[in-house]
Chain A
Amino acid sequence: MTQHTVTGFDDELRTLSQILVAMGGKAEESLADSVHALARQDHSLAEHVIARDDAIDDAEREIEEKAVLTLAKRQPVAGDLREVMAAIRISSDLERIGDLAKNIAKRVLVLNQTMLPQSVMLGLENMSEKALLQLKDVLDSYTRREVDVALDVWARDQEIDAMYNSVFRELLTYMIEDPRLITGCTHLLFVAKNIERIGDHSTNIAETVHYLVTGEPLSDDRPKHDTLTDPVVADEAV
């Protein structure tokens, strides 16, 4: 794209984008580390994830401040305006991802003595790998302004939803079989839900990237795979 006549404007937009990309990297690390910490019962790694969340929160604040300043100073329109709006929106999704990863890490610290079904752990690891790939792809689509990749991420979220449903059912079975597992399983259920929510945030980011590049909002008929609201499962869940 051609440069602005006022080059300071270009610098401001570039800075926003750079902070966002760095923030995205941290969110990716936190997600990966939190699930690793869970699988290996690695408390120091979990502590690390918890500590890193401050840096993610700081990045969101920094982006918001800079974005507000740019809006006030430059009154951006069209592509420039979408650039600023996208930075604000994506940073808020990344901040939530950071929070969810931190929540997983906190559960690692309390799960210490609790009995955990190992097969579910495998399911969770697969799920988080999938969510991590989604997050990585959607951040790449932002960096390279690639709508196709963003659309791919957007459409693939149902796979994570499906994995979540199967982890949910499995945990339910364990809890029915052995009430001593209920505490641990409940924690894992929250972990699964957190990962599923992280997937949702990645699709939000995909929608933002679509808007950023094309100027058109994505319609809201994303394929969903949420069978938990089916009557049968809903009954089980009660």
Chain B
Amino acid sequence: MDATITTEASPTEAPAPAELVNNQKMTARKVDVFYGDKQALFDVDLDIHEHQVISLIGPSGCGKSTFLRCLNRMNDTIDGCRVTGAIELDDQDIYEKSIDVVEIRARVGMVFQKPNPFPKSIYENVAYGPRIHGMTRSKAELEEVVVTSLQRAGLFEEVKDRLESPGTGLSGGQQQRLCIARAIAVSPEVILMDEPCSALDPIATAKIEELMDELRTNYTIVIVTHSMQQAARVSQRTAFFHLGYLVEEGETDQIFTNPQDDRTHDYITGRFG
């Protein structure tokens, strides 16, 4: 008995769990976003920690998707959209003039609400990114990337015998995992997910949620979700947006058991929104 006790590491000697290490992958400082004259986001400061899932929650029109799209400059594609403030990826301002937007979007991938595979084969859907980015030198290498990506997206076993069939022929949940595989194929560091499960049934949703937990060992994930339960299940941190302001951000456990702001409390308990 004594031996067992003495070999146990005391809490002070144990290494800090990954969650507690302060390693910001991305930081947003004083971010304002305007659509023409209308301001959609006000003075948002947020840290996104490496190898964690952070959920952005809030009622429709609160600015959470707008903020998500700032993180890989998807807002550049919207006419009249203006972003001010600083957003850094590994201490590098992604809105700097010298930055290559295509490279940023390769490093910060995105998965959308509705599965949107290319009208190509399953294989080509995943191979497309690595090919246009010139990331592989041989056919064999490309094939390896495709297989690994499909495996990481938890789809390979289901599609390995029909890689040449069209991606659009898969079920909704499979299509969404194909889109995740496509995003993974270009070796991103951060994956943005905009309500990735809202078009899926509960089983497909559960698979994506399970996948997110596995993916965070290699990637950093930012997810916008309307499902509070999903945010509580998949993320380590949660940020609540309301009317364009970041109201509260903290550990998911704390946000869902003891939120500090009344607006957060009212929203997550279903009192408005």
Contact = CB atoms under 8 A, between A and B. Distances in A.
Given A215-B257, A215-B258, A78 B270 contact: no
Interface residues of A, number: 18
B7 interface: no
A77 B272 contact: no
Nearest to A10: B271
Contacts of B232: 77
Given A77-B232, A78-B265, A3 B271 contact: yes
A9 B265 contact: no
A5 B256 contact: no
A4 B265 CA distance: 11
Interface in B218-273: 228-229, 232, 256-259, 265-266, 268-273
Interface of A is mostly: loop
A2 B266 CA distance: 8
A216 B268 CA distance: 18
B229 A79 contact: no
B265 A75 contact: no
A29 B272 CA distance: 41
A78 B258 contact: yes
A129 B272 CA distance: 46
Contacts of B273: 5
Contacts of A117: none
Contacts of A6: 270
A81 B273 CA distance: 19
B232 to A, nearest CB: 7
A80 interface: yes
B21 to A, nearest CB: 25
Contacts of A223: none
Interface string A116-157: 000000000000000000000000000000000000000000
Interface in A177-218: 215-216
Contacts of A216: 258
A101 to B, nearest CB: 34
Contacts of A1: 271
B270 A9 contact: yes
A90 B82 CA distance: 54
B229 A2 contact: no
Nearest to A75: B229
Q: Which of B229, B232, B256, B270 has the most CB of A within 10 A?
A: B270
Interface in B188-245: 228-229, 232
Interface string A83-121: 000000000000000000000000000000000000000
Contacts of A81: 256-257
A217 to B, nearest CB: 10
Nearest to A3: B271
Contact of A5 (B228, B229, B257, B272): B272
Nearest to A85: B257
Contacts of B272: 2, 5
A78 to B, nearest CB: 5
A77 B271 contact: no
A82 B272 CA distance: 19
B6 to A, nearest CB: 26
A77 B228 contact: yes
Contacts of A80: 269
Nearest to B271: A2
Contact of B256 (A4, A9, A78): A78
A17 to B, nearest CB: 16
A4 B257 contact: no
Given A5-B273, A215-B257, A216-B258, A77 B268 contact: yes
Interface in A1-49: 1-6, 9
A-B interface, 6 closest residue pairs, ranked by CB to CB distance from nearest: A215-B258, A2-B271, A77-B256, A80-B269, A4-B270, A77-B268
Given A2-B272, A4-B271, 7 more contacts: A2-B266, A5-B273, A74-B270, A77-B257, A77-B268, A78-B268, A79-B265
Interface of A: 1-6, 9, 74-82, 215-216
15 contacts: A2-B266, A2-B271, A2-B272, A4-B271, A5-B270, A5-B271, A5-B273, A74-B270, A76-B269, A77-B269, A78-B268, A80-B269, A81-B256, A81-B257, A216-B258
